[in-house]
Structure 1
Amino acid sequence: MGARPSGIGEVVAALVRHLPVLAPEYEFTLLRNPVRDQPLSDAANVREVVVRSPANGPVTMLHLPLAVDLAGIDLFHAPANILPGGLKMPAITTVHDVMWLTHPHWCNPSPWGRIERHFYGHGIRRALSASALVTTVSAASRAAILGIAPAAADRVIVTPSGVAADFRLVPRDAGALAAIGVPAGRRYCLIVGQGAPYKNHEGALRAFALAFAAVPDIDLVLVRRRGDTGPALERLARRLGMVERVHFLRPVDRPALVQLYAGAAALLHPSFVEGFGNPLAEAMACGCPVVTSDCSAMPEVTGGAALLADPCDPGAIAAALKRVVDDPALAADLRARGLARAAELDWRAFAAANLSLYDRVLAGAA
């Protein structure tokens, strides 16, 4: 759990919040990122150890006991795709997706990405072969995992992600939106997610231009992190004649993100692949209609509460987006279905499902 928001960070936060309460008979040791200067939990059955080596760094990969004393640990849960080296106890690894093995160019196309490809590829393959159990956050990710490691079928378990309670219906606050860079009085579609190629932000921008080039009173707002694709998107917006209507926001905090969802005409999320796709759940929980991809985990996560389109077809994405924006009855129906679907995505249930797997592994190791 570092300084920047992430889907994996949300998963870890849910485990930290719920597991000590669900399992008072267990003692939990949390390996804490040094940027977190406050305890993660005040539960009596939790102890915390600050580990200076990065969670996804070379020491962790090669031999985690060099960085932290793991004596007395009966089960290790690795929540961030890779299984650390040097573990002597049984381990469960959460593999959110296998893009680094199947589509590494979608993760990081820079020269550094070639190094990351080998790093994550090694850690994920170790997880799939050596973990007592592998959890993943969607049936789509499980299918992708089994496409690589079919022999692991009886060890790969789906524990669907949830959505945090602070993503909820709130009144639209025009002043708060203006303070974070949304032009006053303008309708807008919203994109949320990191700047990696698999998010398909270029396709989203092209689709927005196809849908609304002749509709001057609606904008596109992007909240993005990581990646060096921002300048390329700005150049594309200029070529498409949309540069004045596309707004790249600075990083925002959770209340601001909730406001962005609350005020948007639609969330546009046409990823090529997702392990889960937290913005989908967050948007639905805030009553924001969703347009997303018809592949990977997106149909599963939205559960019939979104319009789906081929992410490789900007025209299809544009048509779906225009339908939502132009049809208030459809938008209202998507809001209602999205709220109902988001209510089914429960972090406590996610933690309880993981706890049942802890019990299973520990019973087998006894």
Structure 2
Amino acid sequence: MAAPLICIDSRYVRRRPSGIGEVVRALIDHAPALAPDVRFLLLKHPDTQARLSAAPNVTERVVRAAANGPATMWWLARATDLTGVDLFHAPANIQPAGLAMPVVTTIHDVMWLTHPHWAARPGWRGRVDRAFYAHGIRRALRASPRIATVSAATRDAIATIDPRAADRMRITRSGVAPAFHPPAAGVVSPRGERRYVLTVGQAAPYKNHRAALDAFAVAFADRNDVDHVFVQRQGAGAAALLAQAAALGLTGRVQVMTAVGRDELIALYGHALALCHPSLIEGFGNPLAEAMACGCPVVTSDVSAMPEVTGGAALLAGPCDVPAIAAALRRVADEPRLAAMLRERGLRRAAELSWHAFAAANVAIYREVLGR
């Protein structure tokens, strides 16, 4: 009997960083070794020149269609030959139509169904985005024999929207890479002597960066020894944030970085006063795990997946409660014992978030669907 062939859509792994890209990268790093009796076909993005995996049970194929575009949604079987594939893993929220094999879909969050305005672009493009993602997610809820979710929060949200999907859901909690670790003794901060609050994430409404900056202003307007650094890895929101900073009297104390490599990001986490992450919703929230692994105290929201991911290692506040967020930031800055406790708890919590365990949970789903 031939070894089963599992196709993992890996096109989110590319030069442009993204949270889903990190998830897929971790999956393909670990799954082939965890399932040596399985063959894997990885669909890859054209700008990914190097091989995605050196495992002997992996083959790779470039697909030029966008990972979350019309060709993938409706005509993927025409865009690439999937003959012989026994199971397809769609890791980016939408289930492609017309596939002959069973499809496992990873749904990171259901924002496109519950609060699409938090994610959509403005204007007609936003209206297209809303219809597109809602269609693909609802197909997954209806037709995927198994639905993977990266947090219990997303699982519970899906069960509320579509109770019929409850029995088909499995949690595959995200992890954090070993590369994220505290700075070695004596390593100089990338910001020199300046203390700073760090906020990481794309420039989308649900990331709530305006509230993060408002809270920073309330906490530190009277202290010019603290700056606010934003790493907006996927957005063009710098102009809006800098205009907001000017209106708040913070000109020169707010920096927006859009092109940050992993090593620089790790250094920023490791020397930050705190990560301020007041998202309105998260499927998981990679910056939370990354910051904790780097020994960075975390101030985040008390909703969605944030309390689950931080596991008692963060200060929590309502994402729209600017005074509460500001008070938490000020406490971290002014209470060294609290900051040290948050660092210690964060490191312990991050050690529990394993990409190996994440991949193993996905492999268990594959075997369940294949009946092996």
Fold shared per TM-score above 0.5: yes
Aligned twin of 1:17: 29
TM-aligned CA deviation for residue 225 of structure 1: 2.8
Deviations 1:10-33 (CA, angstroms, capped at 9, x unpaired): 111111110110110000000011
Instruction: Identify if the C-alpha distance between structure 1 residues 108 and 226 changes in structure 2 by more than 3 Å, giving closer, same or farther.
Output: farther
Instruction: Identify if the C-alpha distance between structure 1 residues 51 and 173 changes in structure 2 by more than 3 Å, giving closer, same or farther.
Output: farther
Q: Which moved more, 1:109-118 or 1:333-342?
A: 109-118
Aligned twin of 1:157: 170
Deviations 1:17-66 (CA, angstroms, capped at 9, x unpaired): 10110110000000011110011011110000110111111111012111
**What does 1:207-356 correspond to in 2, within 5 Å?**
207-356=215-364
Instruction: Identify if the C-alpha distance between structure 1 residues 342 and 175 changes in structure 2 by more than 3 Å, giving closer, same or farther.
Output: closer
Give the whole-Å Cα distance in 1 for the aligned partners of 2:281 and 2:168: 23
Are the counterparts in 2 of residues 176 and 256 from structure 1 also a CA contact under 8 Å? Answer: no
**What does 1:173-192 correspond to in 2, within 5 Å?**
177=190, 182=191, 184-192=192-200
Are the counterparts in 1 of residues 277 and 301 from structure 2 also a CA contact under 8 Å? Answer: yes
Give the whole-Å Cα distance in 1 for the aligned partners of 2:15 and 2:122: 23
Q: For residue 99 of structure 2, what is the amino acid of its counterpart?
A: L
Alignment pair present for 1:132 and 2:149: no
Alignment pair present for 1:205 and 2:213: yes
Q: For residue 265 of structure 1, what is the amino acid of its counterpart?
A: L
Deviations 1:187-223 (CA, angstroms, capped at 9, x unpaired): 0000000000000000000000000000110000000
Q: Give 3-state SS (helix, strand or coil) of 2:371's partner.
A: helix
Are the counterparts in 2 of residues 163 and 278 from structure 1 also a CA contact under 8 Å? Answer: yes
Instruction: Identify if the C-alpha distance between structure 1 residues 267 and 250 changes in structure 2 by more than 3 Å, giving closer, same or farther.
Output: same
Q: Give 3-state SS (helix, strand or coil) of 1:8's partner.
A: helix
Q: For residue 77 of structure 2, what is the amino acid of its counterpart?
A: P
Give the whole-Å Cα distance in 1 for the aligned partners of 2:115 and 2:220: 31
Give the whole-Å Cα distance in 2 for the aligned partners of 1:174 and 1:223: 21
Q: Give 3-state SS (helix, strand or coil) of 1:225's partner.
A: coil
Deviations 1:295-333 (CA, angstroms, capped at 9, x unpaired): 100000000000000111100100011111111100000
Are the counterparts in 2 of residues 96 and 136 from structure 1 also a CA contact under 8 Å? Answer: yes
Q: For residue 44 of structure 1, what is the amino acid of its counterpart?
A: P
TM-aligned CA deviation for residue 3 of structure 1: 1.7
TM-aligned CA deviation for residue 175 of structure 1: 5.9
Deviations 1:77-106 (CA, angstroms, capped at 9, x unpaired): 100100111100011000000111111110
Q: Give 3-state SS (helix, strand or coil) of 2:215's partner.
A: helix
Give the whole-Å Cα distance in 2 for the aligned partners of 1:121 and 1:229: 25
Give the whole-Å Cα distance in 1 for the aligned partners of 2:234 and 2:204: 7
Are the counterparts in 2 of residues 188 and 218 from structure 1 also a CA contact under 8 Å? Answer: yes
Aligned twin of 1:121: 134
What is the percent sequence identity of the aligned residues? 60
Q: Give 3-state SS (helix, strand or coil) of 1:244's partner.
A: coil
Q: For residue 266 of structure 2, what is the amino acid of its counterpart?
A: V
Give the whole-Å Cα distance in 2 for the aligned partners of 1:328 and 1:95: 39
Give the whole-Å Cα distance in 1 for the aligned partners of 2:16 and 2:349: 27
Give the whole-Å Cα distance in 1 for the aligned partners of 2:320 and 2:184: 35
Aligned twin of 2:10: none
Instruction: Identify if the C-alpha distance between structure 1 residues 356 and 174 changes in structure 2 by more than 3 Å, giving closer, same or farther.
Output: closer
Give the whole-Å Cα distance in 2 for the aligned partners of 1:129 and 1:34: 31
Give the whole-Å Cα distance in 2 for the aligned partners of 1:227 and 1:18: 30
Give the whole-Å Cα distance in 1 for the aligned partners of 2:66 and 2:293: 32
Q: TM-score, normalised by structure 1?
A: 0.96
Aligned twin of 1:170: 183
Give the whole-Å Cα distance in 2 for the aligned partners of 1:57 and 1:353: 27
Alignment pair present for 1:100 and 2:127: no
Aligned twin of 2:370: 362
Which ranges of 4 or more aligned residues in structure 1 deviate by more than 2 Å?
171-176, 225-230
Q: For residue 65 of structure 1, what is the amino acid of its counterpart?
A: A
Deviations 1:130-176 (CA, angstroms, capped at 9, x unpaired): 10100000011111111211111100111100001100112377767
Q: Give 3-state SS (helix, strand or coil) of 1:190's partner.
A: strand
Give the aligned CA root-mean-square deviation in angstroms: 1.3
Are the counterparts in 2 of residues 269 and 291 from structure 1 also a CA contact under 8 Å? Answer: yes
Q: For residue 197 of structure 2, what is the amino acid of its counterpart?
A: C
Are the counterparts in 2 of residues 78 and 93 from structure 1 also a CA contact under 8 Å? Answer: yes
Aligned twin of 1:58: 70
Q: For residue 239 of structure 2, what is the amino acid of its counterpart?
A: P
Q: TM-score, normalised by structure 2?
A: 0.94
Q: For residue 93 of structure 2, what is the amino acid of its counterpart?
A: N
Q: For residue 159 of structure 1, what is the amino acid of its counterpart?
A: T
Q: Which moved more, 1:129-138 or 1:218-227?
A: 218-227
Give the whole-Å Cα distance in 2 for the aligned partners of 1:257 and 1:2: 17
TM-aligned CA deviation for residue 347 of structure 1: 0.4
Q: Which moved more, 1:122-131 or 1:105-114?
A: 105-114
Residue of 44, 61, 79 corresponding to 2:91: 79
How many residue pairs are counted as aligned between the two chains? 359
